[in-house]
């Protein structure tokens, strides 16, 4: 259960990061409030380039990202125009396999346009046809240009398919009159859960005049999900175990009551009450360990048949509203397994204390007399 929930949240986060994209982004300080070309930044200088080329940074891409209007002969839609350098964009996370018709952009000066499948439907146009992109140019002029649709992509989230259009960065800069200016630099590398190292490295190189944000700051909902999920797993394990602990206490109490005579005899023969307490605790720990071994094996075995994912496409729209895709991949993490095991051991020992204490408090002569 935890693995499925963890898998869903991981996927939501990973899809969310793919949509950003990157673990860290560099912007003009005012860009996020007003994403127009006025709030653009210069291409990275030598210092920033060095940071972008050093681990944990693995890939980075310059991007132009502005609001725009796309018009076909039948319809028009507000979209986000992405001017990208194709190869770095692929390295950053764009999956060429998501192109379901036509091709992706081939060079920074490619004249084509790649749109999402749903947008294509909304515009009531088709691959190979021309559309007009219109956005705000320098000095508040209107910048527009006709593009031929050269590719159609399928996004993990329907919002991506409907809202994003990809054009080559050089072509976009030319359209918007931005020269070499860009809207953002997106960077990936390392573990997205431990993004601080990458963030700090880029932040130091970018200086104070640029805004450097990690994915947890760029999408606070996603960042919160990660924290909430960790807390949720702990609470979930504790709640489940507390319910089960009644069974454990009951089993141990019964085991103690059935062996009252034996414990009395052990004391009569010279075993200290503390040793009896330790013995019962040890038995409880052995019981817990055996249970955990079996439980862990069962957990792994139950995950194996569904490791290739569960197809939830019948409820895809509802799931996508939460930001998750229609394939649910379970994620059985060592951290979750260890935490569950630790919670069970700690709470198990705590709940064993009462039966163990009872066993150690019998008076030998009374305990031996019990039948």
The Cα–Cα gap between 267 and 365 comes to 9
Question: Which residue's structure tokens are 């034996």?
Answer: 262
Torsion region of 140: left, alpha or beta (phi above 0 gives left; psi -120 to 50 gives alpha) = left
Q: Which of residues 304-363 bind other proteins (CB under 8 A)?
A: 363
> Is 265 or 339 the residue whose CB approaches other proteins more closely?
265
Contact with other proteins (CB under 8 A) among 97, 142, 274, 314: 274
Q: Is the CB of 40 or the CB of 267 nearer to other proteins? A: 267
Q: Which is nearer to other proteins, 270 or 305 (CB)?
A: 270
Give the residue, chosen from 33, 140, 208, 270, that forms a contact with other proteins under the rule CB under 8 A. 270
Q: Which of 67, 137, 170, 273 binds other proteins (CB under 8 A)?
A: 273
258 lies in the site for other proteins, by CB under 8 A:
no
Binders of other proteins in range 165-224 (CB under 8 A)? none
328 forms bridges with which residues in the sheet? 310
Contact 31, 173 (CB under 8 A): no
CB of 336 to other proteins, least distance (A): 38
Q: Which of 167, 79, 168 has its CA nearest to residue 122?
A: 79
- Which span sits near other proteins by CB under 8 A: 26-34, 100-108, 179-187, 270-278? 270-278
DSSP 39-100: G-BPPP-HHHHHHHTSTT--EEEEEEEEEEEEE-SS-EEEEEEEEE-HHHHHHHT--GGGEE
Choices 119-127, 265-273, 331-339, 347-355; region in contact with other proteins by CB under 8 A: 265-273
The distance of closest approach from Cβ of residue 354 to other proteins in the complex, given in angstroms and rounded to an integer, is: 19
Q: Is 254 in the site for other proteins (CB under 8 A)?
A: no
Nearest distance in Å: CB 356, other proteins: 15
Per CB under 8 A, 275 contacts other proteins: yes
C-beta of 304 vs 365, nearer to other proteins: 365
Interatomic CA distance for residues 164 and 174, integer angstroms = 19
Q: Nearer Cβ to other proteins, position 16 or 264?
A: 264
Helix (H) or strand (E) holding 113: strand 112-116
How far from 148 is each of 66, 151, 343, CA to CA, in Å?
19, 9, 59
- For other proteins, the binding residue among 101, 197, 249, 271 (CB under 8 A) is 271
For position 141 contacting other proteins by CB under 8 A, the verdict is: no
According to the binding rule CB under 8 A, does residue 269 interact with other proteins? Answer: yes
How many residues interact with other proteins (rule CB under 8 A)?
Answer: 18
Helix, strand or coil, per DSSP, at residue 133: strand
Contacts of 324 (CB under 8 A, 6+ apart): 8, 11, 12, 15
- Rule CB under 8 A: which residues touch other proteins? 261-262, 265-275, 363-366, 368
């Amino acid at each position: 259960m935890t693995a499925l929930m963890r898998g869903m949240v991981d996927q939501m986060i990973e899809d969310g990061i793919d949509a950003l994209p990157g673990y860290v982004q560099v912007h003009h300080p005012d860009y996020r409030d007003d994403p127009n070309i006025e709030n653009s930044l210069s291409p990275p200088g030598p210092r920033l380039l060095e940071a972008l080329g050093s681990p944990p940074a693995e890939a980075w891409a310059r991007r132009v990202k502005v609001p725009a209007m796309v018009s076909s002969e039948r319809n028009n839609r507000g979209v986000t125009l992405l001017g990208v350098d194709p190869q770095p964009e692929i390295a950053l996370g764009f999956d060429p396999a998501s192109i379901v018709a036509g091709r992706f952009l081939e060079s920074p000066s490619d004249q084509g346009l790649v749109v999402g499948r749903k947008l294509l439907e909304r515009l009531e146009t088709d691959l190979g046809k021309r559309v007009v992109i219109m956005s705000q140019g320098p000095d508040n002029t209107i910048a527009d240009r006709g593009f031929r649709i050269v590719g159609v992509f399928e996004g993990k989230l329907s919002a991506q398919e409907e809202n994003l259009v990809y054009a080559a960065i050089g072509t976009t800069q030319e359209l918007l009159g931005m020269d070499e200016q860009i809207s953002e630099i997106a960077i990936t590398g390392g573990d997205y859960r431990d993004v601080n190292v990458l963030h700090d490295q880029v932040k130091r190189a970018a200086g104070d005049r640029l805004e450097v944000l990690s994915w947890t700051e760029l999408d606070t909902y996603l960042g919160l999900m990660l924290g909430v999920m960790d807390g949720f797993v702990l609470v979930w394990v504790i709640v489940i175990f507390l319910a089960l602990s009644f069974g454990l206490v009951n089993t141990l109490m019964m085991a103690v009551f059935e062996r009252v005579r034996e414990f009395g005899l052990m004391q009569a023969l010279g075993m200290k009450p503390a040793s009896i307490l330790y013995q019962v605790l040890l038995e409880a720990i052995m019981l817990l360990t055996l249970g955990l071994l079996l439980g862990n094996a069962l957990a792994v075995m139950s995950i194996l048949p569904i490791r290739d994912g569960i197809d939830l496409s019948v409820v895809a729209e509802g799931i996508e509203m939460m930001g998750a895709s229609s394939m649910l991949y379970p994620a059985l993490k060592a951290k979750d397994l260890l935490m569950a095991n630790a919670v069970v051991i700690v709470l198990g020992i705590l709940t064993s204390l009462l039966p163990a204490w009872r066993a150690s408090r019998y008076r030998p002569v009374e305990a031996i007399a019990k039948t």
